[in-house]
Amino acid sequence: MRFNVIMPTNRMSEELIPILKSYKKQIYQDFVISIIKEGELQSLKNICENLALHNVKLYCVPQGTGNASVSRNYGLEHACDNEIILFSDDDMMVTPDFIAQHAQVHQYTENAIVRGLRYQKDEDGSFYLTVWEQQALRRWNQQARNDIWAYFVTSNASVSIRLLKQTKFFDVNFDRSGCEDTDLAYRLLKVGGRPVSNEQAVNYHLSIDDMQLKFQERIKNFQYLRSKYPDDPAVKLFVALTLQAIEKKQINNIFLGNAEGI
């Protein structure tokens, strides 16, 4: 079972070094990393050579593309037919058994959409598990929920390329990033994907984001998601509650609230 880690980036190549080092320590060896980078590739190629990472595929999209869906789709279009696609972002450091934990689920569950556990970085440099992440992982296993797609993220998830092809990949009409993963999950479930969570598939978010600001910049994406599924009351409710939380400036409390530190 071969994995293909799809990683779009517009960061400076040097910022990817701790991320790439964490993949070098994987106990599961049958994988490649597809990095879709804006702009020149030579500096990143040099870093991969210095790290002796020989399983990295580098793809270039024009500088200023700024659209996660476009970049991810470019990587997906070059994936092999038998691969399991693993989505993990360019600021997510992974544990040595990260890919092995995803593989364990796919080995025993057909059409699995696997969601792992993400830890958030705190101001003091420690990592903690947010309340939302803890709840989201639990709800991802509740297949009867009509809003289960709302708990999917492309910063720690895996699914077969075969299943992804049935959805025709990401919708590039979402601006930059935000909601494109929610929309993908909605469509993956429609074509028979089975949500499975694995709290042992852990990665660590090295960036400290202002989630309130990020969500404010995504308002048009939430509105576009609602326009795609106008007859689905669960989508309408999800968007309405999210927009309400943005307006009331509750996003950081919802998504960054502390559950457990390490």
> For the domain that residue 183 is a member of, what is the CATH number?
3.90.550.10
For residue 215, tell me if it sits in a domain.
no
How far apart CA 140 and CA 110 sit, in angstroms, is 16
At 259 the pLDDT is 54
SS3 182: helix
What are the C-alpha distances in Å from 202 to residues 55, 98, 186, 216?
21, 6, 23, 28
Q: pLDDT per residue over 60-91, tens digit each?
A: 988 777 899 999 999 999 999 999 999 999 99
Which pLDDT belongs to residue 66? 80
* In a domain? residue 251: no
pLDDT number for residue 141: 87
Total-model pTM: 0.94
Average pLDDT of span 195-213: 93
Q: Is residue 238 part of a domain?
A: no
Domain encompassing residue 195: 3-208
Per-residue confidence at 176, pLDDT binned at 50, 70, 90? confident
For 115-146, the pLDDT digits (tens) are 999 999 999 999 999 999 999 999 998 877 89
Q: How confident is the model at residue 261 (pLDDT cuts 50, 70, 90)?
A: very low
Distance CA 103, CA 126 (A): 28
Region of 8 (left: φ > 0; alpha: ψ -120 to 50; beta: rest) is: beta
Is residue 33 domain-resident?
A: yes
Confirm whether 136 is domain-assigned: yes
Sequence-ordered strand ranges (E) for 89-150: 92-94, 112-121, 127-130
Question: Could you tell me if residue 160 is inside a domain?
Answer: yes
**pLDDT at site 256:** 81
Residue 128 resides in a domain: yes
Q: Which of 115, 132, 130, 106 is nearest to 200 (CA)?
A: 115
Q: pLDDT over 70 for what percent of the chain?
A: 98
Mean pLDDT for 216-237 is 96
In this structure, is residue 253 part of a structural domain?
Answer: no
Count the domains in the chain.
1
DSSP 8-class letter at 156: S
